[in-house]
Amino acid sequence: MLSEHLRALGRRVDRRVERIVAEGVPDRARRWYLGGLAILLVLLEWLHVVAGMRLGVDLFFLAVIASCFIFRRSGLWIIPICLVLYDLPYLLSGSDGWDQLIVRSLVAVLTWVFLGVFTTVTLSKYAETRRYQNVILQDVALARTLQRSLMPAYFESDAVRVDARIAQTMQIGGDFYYFRPFKEKYVVVSLGDIMGKGIPASMVMAIVMGFFYEWGKQSFSPSFILERLNERLYSLWTDDESWFVTMFYAIYDEETHEFVYTSGGHQAALLIHADPQRPIERLKVDNLPIGIFEDMKWDEKSVVLEPGDRVAVFTDGVNEARNPAGEIFTMERVEQVLRENLHLSPGEIARAVVKRVRAFAGSHDMQDDLAIMIMEVKA
C-alpha cells in the first residue's frame, strides 16, 4: 500500500515538473516558489559559511538555476542577491583583499549569468519542441480517427457476418481490412499489410482503401482488382521500389456460396468448417506481392462454403508474433485458438486471437501491427 502511494506521489511530482518545464510556473503559485527560493538561499548561505569559503566552492549557482527554471529569463534577478550573500562572509571576515574579492565576484557572476542563460534557452527550446510534438500528436490522433473510419469493425447481411480487429504498434499503421456488399448478392472481403509502419504506411493504406471504394464494385474477379491496384501503386512509387503490399482479396456469392479468392504475396487464409471433424483448410494462392513489378497477373481459386463455415484472414503480425524467448506464435497456434473458440461469434473469436497473441508476446514489445478478419456464413 505504501509503495503504491509513493508511486502515485512520484507520478504527480513528475507531471508537475513536466508542466513547469513546458509552461513555467502559473502566476497564482509564484509566491510559494518565491518562498522556496528564499529557504534555498538561507540554506546555501549557511553551507557557504560552514564549508564553501573553506573549500572554495560556489554553491549559489544552484539558486540561479532554480530561479531560471521557475521564472525563466526573469529569474536572473536572483544574481544580485546571490552576489551579496556570496561576498558578505568575506567582507565580514576581512580574509581577502579587494582585488581578490572583485576577481572572485566577477568570475562568480559570469558563471551565474552563463548558467542562467543556458537554463533559460534550454527550457525555451524544450517548450517549443513540446508544443511542436503536441501539434503532431493531435494530427496523428486525427489521422487515427480518419483511418479507423475507413475500416468499420462489423458487417452483417442475411447470408454472412464479418468481424475484424486491428492492433497497431503505433497510433496509425499499414494493416488494413475491407468488406462491403455489392450487386445485391456479392460481398467483398479483403485484408492486407503495407510494408512498414507509422505515418508512411498509413498514407499508402489510405490510397489502397480509396482504390477499393473506387474499383471494389466494378469487377467480380479478385485477380482483376489486384491487377488494377498494382498498376496504380507501381506508378506511385517508381522512384522508391522498396514499397509493396501483401493482400488477400475475395468475393463471396451469397446465392451460389462460391468464395473466389486470390492473394498478393499474403499468407494463407484459414477455412474453419462447420463440421468440427473436418480439418482446418488453408486457402493459399502463390502470387507475388502487389507493387513490385509493373506487368503482373494474379491467379485465383475458389471454394464452395457451407452454412456455418468461417474464413479467418490475418496479417503476419498474428502468426509471426514473438515472445521474449524469440519463439514465434506460428500458424499452428492460430489454428488451435480457432478450434478452441468455435462456439463463439466471429467478433469474439477475433478478440480471443488478439488476446492470445498478446499473452504470448508478454513483456516482449509487439514488433508488427496485427489485423484479423473473420467471415461467417450464416446457418
Residues 244 and 122 in one domain: no
On whether both 239 and 358 belong to a single domain, the answer is yes
Which residues, including other chains, have CB under 8 Å from residue 101's CB and lie 6 or more apart?
A: 87, 90, 91
Same domain, 73 and 178: no
Same domain for 158 and 121: no
pLDDT score of 305 more than 90: yes
Is the domain of 77 the same as that of 223? no
Q: Same domain for 105 and 167?
A: no
User: pLDDT tens across 253-293, in order?
Assistant: 999 999 999 998 898 999 999 988 889 999 999 888 888 88
Q: Which of 287, 292, 362 is nearest to 323 (CA)?
A: 362
Residues 250 and 278 in one domain: yes
Task: Judge if 237 and 107 occupy the same domain.
Answer: no
Distance CA 26, CA 31 (A): 10
CA dihedral (102, 108, 114, 120) in degrees, to 10, reads -120
pLDDT digits (tens, 9 = 90+) for 156-207: 888 999 999 888 766 666 788 888 888 888 999 999 888 766 667 777 777 7
Residues 101, 161 within the same domain? no
Q: Is the pLDDT of residue 29 over 80?
A: no
Helix (H, G, I), strand (E, B) or coil at 45: helix
Do residues 114 and 168 both lie within one domain? no
Question: Could you tell me which of 108, 109, 105 has the C-alpha nearest to residue 96?
Answer: 105
Q: How confident is the model at residue 172, as a pLDDT? A: 63
Nearest CA among 123, 134, 184, 177 for reference residue 159: 184
Q: How many domains does the chain have?
A: 2
* 369 or 329, greater pLDDT: 329
Residue range(s) defining the domain that contains residue 105: 2-142
